[in-house]
């Protein structure tokens, strides 16, 4: 069983709009409203992969009720802690003429120490039947940046695989707790490491550095694939997985979440790194073909799967 944890769940609405211009009136070509937040999106993608998954986290108010009800309607098992404050809403506008996405996200609800304590109790309970626990997404404003680190340490004590997808201070603190897997996009990796990746050499040095910071496996993805580093010391292995840029993109929202779900699905099945990376990149690319985060067709995954090229290379720092 895979458990996903979303502390800042949202009601996500994605609109497809041609030629978006600030200050102008537009009509959407299509729209889709779904429960969101990175952990929820990962759960949806795992469900589509046929993996056993349960989504937990914090949800409050009418928006929180809708999140829980819609997840249940999608057939995604869930067990959220109900909080007093209203869960956030988010809007993404995807422009298919230039493949650009504009996102407007609310900060999130106030969360009390008591509500966080209940969440930790629930996580401890759910971990008893889990193999992997995923911590993904932003934190509500009142939640300390170190919370992911505390949660990861608690789960690691149970002997479980942990995955982290976060940004900024939350990512830095979380990596220090030594999660099994860290998955971030290129911009997020550059931000925490303090330098831009000019080429693949920089990217490979970056994933190696993320491993040195505490991750057992570091994944850095972008629109062309990913670079990855597995393990530390002499056992360290480094890979690059590439896919030609996808020409027809509906929306990129949630591609990173589908990428992580594809990787976890393969890792859960105990495949090797090459297979896991190939599935991850294919799932991320398939997500661009439809509106909705963690939404893709299995046929699209199979098509992209045949196009992904994975190469092992000498790892930086090995």
Measure the CA–CA gap between 109 and 64, rounded to whole angstroms.
11
Selection from 212, 205, 218, 213 nearest residue 232 by Cα = 212
30 falls within a domain? no
Beta bridge partners of 287: none
Neighbour tally for 61: CB within 10 Å? 16
What percent of the chain stands above pLDDT 70?
97
- Do 246 and 288 contact (CB within 8 A), yes or no? yes
**CA atoms within 13 Å, Cβ hemisphere of 165:** 31
23 falls within a domain? no
- Do 229 and 218 contact (CB within 8 A), yes or no? yes
- Over residues 233-292, the pLDDT tens digits come to 567 899 999 999 888 888 888 999 999 999 999 999 989 999 999 999 999 999 999 988
Domain of residue 70 covers: 2-18+35-313
- Over residues 134-144, the pLDDT tens digits come to 999 999 999 99
111 falls within a domain? yes
Q: How confident is the model at residue 301 (pLDDT cuts 50, 70, 90)?
A: very high
Q: Strand, helix or coil at 210?
A: helix
Number of domains forming the structure of the chain = 1
216 falls within a domain? yes
Q: How confident is the model at residue 315 (pLDDT cuts 50, 70, 90)?
A: very low
Q: How confident is the model at residue 220 (pLDDT cuts 50, 70, 90)?
A: very high
Q: What is the pLDDT of residue 232?
A: 60
For the chain, the C-alpha Rg in angstroms (whole number) is 18
25 falls within a domain? no
- Do 39 and 73 contact (CB within 8 A), yes or no? no
Backbone CA torsion sign across 297, 247, 226, 197? negative
**CA atoms within 13 Å, Cβ hemisphere of 79:** 14
- Do 139 and 105 contact (CB within 8 A), yes or no? no
Q: What is the pLDDT of residue 274?
A: 96
Measure the CA–CA gap between 243 and 307, rounded to whole angstroms.
6
The residue count for the chain: 318
297 falls within a domain? yes
- In the chain, what is the straight-line distance between the N-terminal and C-terminal CA atoms, in Å? 33
- Do 230 and 245 contact (CB within 8 A), yes or no? no
* Degrees, nearest 5: CA angle 306-46-78: 170
78 falls within a domain? yes
Selection from 235, 215, 218, 236 nearest residue 227 by Cα = 218
Measure the CA–CA gap between 197 and 111, rounded to whole angstroms.
37
Neighbour tally for 293: CB within 10 Å? 29
Selection from 269, 244, 279, 265 nearest residue 43 by Cα = 265
Measure the CA–CA gap between 261 and 119, rounded to whole angstroms.
23
- Over residues 82-100, the pLDDT tens digits come to 999 999 999 989 898 888 8
Instruction: Give the domain CATH number at 233.
Output: 3.40.1190.20
Please tell me what DSSP assigns to residue 243.
-
28 falls within a domain? no
């Amino acid at each position: 069983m895979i458990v996903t944890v979303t502390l800042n769940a949202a009601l996500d609405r994605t609109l497809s709009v041609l030629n978006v211009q600030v200050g102008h009136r537009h009509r959407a070509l299509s729209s889709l409203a779904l429960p969101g937040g990175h952990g929820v999106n990962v759960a949806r993608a795992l469900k589509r992969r046929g993996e056993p998954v349960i989504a937990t986290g914090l949800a409050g108010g009418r928006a929180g009720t809708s999140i829980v009800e819609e997840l249940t309607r999608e057939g995604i098992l869930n067990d959220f802690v109900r909080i007093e404050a209203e869960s956030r809403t988010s809007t993404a506008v995807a422009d298919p003429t230039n493949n650009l996405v504009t996102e407007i996200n609310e900060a999130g609800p106030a969360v009390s120490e008591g509500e966080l304590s209940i969440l930790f109790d629930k996580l401890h309970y759910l971990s008893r039947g889990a193999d992997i626990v995923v911590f993904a997404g932003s934190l509500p404003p009142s939640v300390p940046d170190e919370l992911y680190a505390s949660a990861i340490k608690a789960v690691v004590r149970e002997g479980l695989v942990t995955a982290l997808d976060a940004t900024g201070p939350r990512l830095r603190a979380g990596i220090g707790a030594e999660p099994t897997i860290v998955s971030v996009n290129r911009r997020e990796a550059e931000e925490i490491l303090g330098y831009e990746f000019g080429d693949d050499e920089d990217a490979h040095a970056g994933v190696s550095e993320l491993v040195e910071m505490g991750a057992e496996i570091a994944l850095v993805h972008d629109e062309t694939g990913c670079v990855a580093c597995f393990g530390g010391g002499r056992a360290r292995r480094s890979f690059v997985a590439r896919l030609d840029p996808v020409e027809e993109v509906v929306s990129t929202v949630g591609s990173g979440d589908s990428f992580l779900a594809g990787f976890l699905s393969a890792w859960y099945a105990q495949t090797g790194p090459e297979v896991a990376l190939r599935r991850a990149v294919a799932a991320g690319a398939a997500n661009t073909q439809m509106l909705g985060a963690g939404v893709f067709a299995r046929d699209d995954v199979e098509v992209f799967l045949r196009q992904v090229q994975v190469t092992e290379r000498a790892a930086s720092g090995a």
